[in-house]
Amino acid sequence: MPGFSLLKPLGFFYAVVLILVLMYLWYSGKWKQKAGWIILLVSTALGFVIASPLAPHQFQELMLRNVQALGVSITIAAIGLLIIFLLTFLSGRFFCGYLCPVGAVQELASRVPVPKLVLRQKVPLMVVRGVVFVLFLYMAWVLSSSLLDYFGISDFFARILTTGSIVFVVMLLVSMVFYRPFCRVICPYGLLLSLGASTSLFALQRTDACIDCKCCDKSCPVDEAKPNDRKAECYLCGRCTGVCPVAGALQYKRRTGNEKS
Ligand code: SF4
Ligand code: SF4
Ligand code: SF4
């Protein structure tokens, strides 16, 4: 199989196992933010080792039906992405939050302590990413070209200096101020995962212990901590749980549909 490397299935199994482990740790209340830092560093490092195709690119190459770049058959690549989607539908965006190297490196950048810009209007962002998604499909299906190549993910993780990798470095600098610009505006696979997460079976929920202090709202970089937010863009970053002053007021649990408001 052209381009096949054992590292690719290894990266996939790393993601699947860690999604389940993270889900267990959050659900059982054993999650520690320190573990998050370690996983983010490991995921970023794996991105540099595996280099390509990372999830957004895998989705792109699938749309282009580029078996050479995928390194596996179309069917296997599609099944891999489908499994991550189903796990996101089950548990929320642990994959995006911690395991996708492209997301992990932006998450690390977002933790640099500089003033942050939080956009509270979700609709404009949704419109822009919808337009980007249509453009992405148009380029792939009609022009047989690759939108994501302009953002240099592969070049960045392969440590190749190109215009694209410079664009991605700029995006990382933006990530320090504006949370995960690539994930929230550009990533076409992320758009699908956000749809899965918006109806995920498990999600962060306020409980009856909540005193409505709004600390979680203020700490959330994507404005998803309010009661009954769909959590489509919740990356399970833990900022809200970290600032909640009441034990048990914010829990990762089965979505009930009538979260305390
Ligand atoms: S949105 Fe895309 S780039 Fe961001 S973490 Fe998810 S799959 Fe990776
Ligand atoms: S602060 Fe809370 S609600 Fe907001 S993205 Fe992070 S985990 Fe999700
Ligand atoms: S969940 Fe916690 S941080 Fe959020 S409003 Fe309730 S008590 Fe405050």
Residue 214 CB less than 6 A away from ligand 3: yes
Atom of ligand 2 nearest to the CA of 229: 3
> In terms of domains, do 53 and 139 share one?
yes
Can you give the CATH number for the domain in which 209 is found? 3.30.70.20
Give the domain extent around 248.
Answer: 202-254
- What per-residue confidence (pLDDT) applies to 261? 56
Across the range 73-78, mean pLDDT stands at: 94
1: pLDDT confidence band, cut at 50, 70 and 90? Answer: very low
Q: Are residues 139 and 237 in the same domain?
A: no
Cite the DSSP H helix spans in 92-151: 94, 101-110, 122-141
pLDDT surpassing 80 at residue 243: yes
pLDDT, position 43 = 96
Testing ligand 3's pocket by substitution, the residue of 213, 229, 231, 253 carrying the most ligand atoms inside 8 A of its CB is 213
Provide the terminal-to-terminal Cα distance of the chain, rounded to the nearest Å. Answer: 53
Asked whether residue 209 falls in the same domain as residue 241, the answer is: yes
Same domain, 206 and 153: no
The average confidence (pLDDT) of the chain is 93
- CA-to-CA dists, residue 243 to 61, 209, 235, 239, angstroms: 40, 15, 16, 7
- Decide if 119 is inside a domain: yes
Question: Would the pTM of this model clear 0.85, i.e. be above it?
Answer: yes
Classify residue 1: in a domain, yes or no: no
Q: In total, how many domains does the chain have?
A: 2
End position of a domain, from candidates 150, 177, 198: 198
DSSP state of 130: H
Residue 198 backbone dihedrals phi, psi, to 5 degrees? -65, -20
Q: Would you say residue 261 lies in a domain? A: no
Give the end of a domain, one of 198, 217, 244. Answer: 198
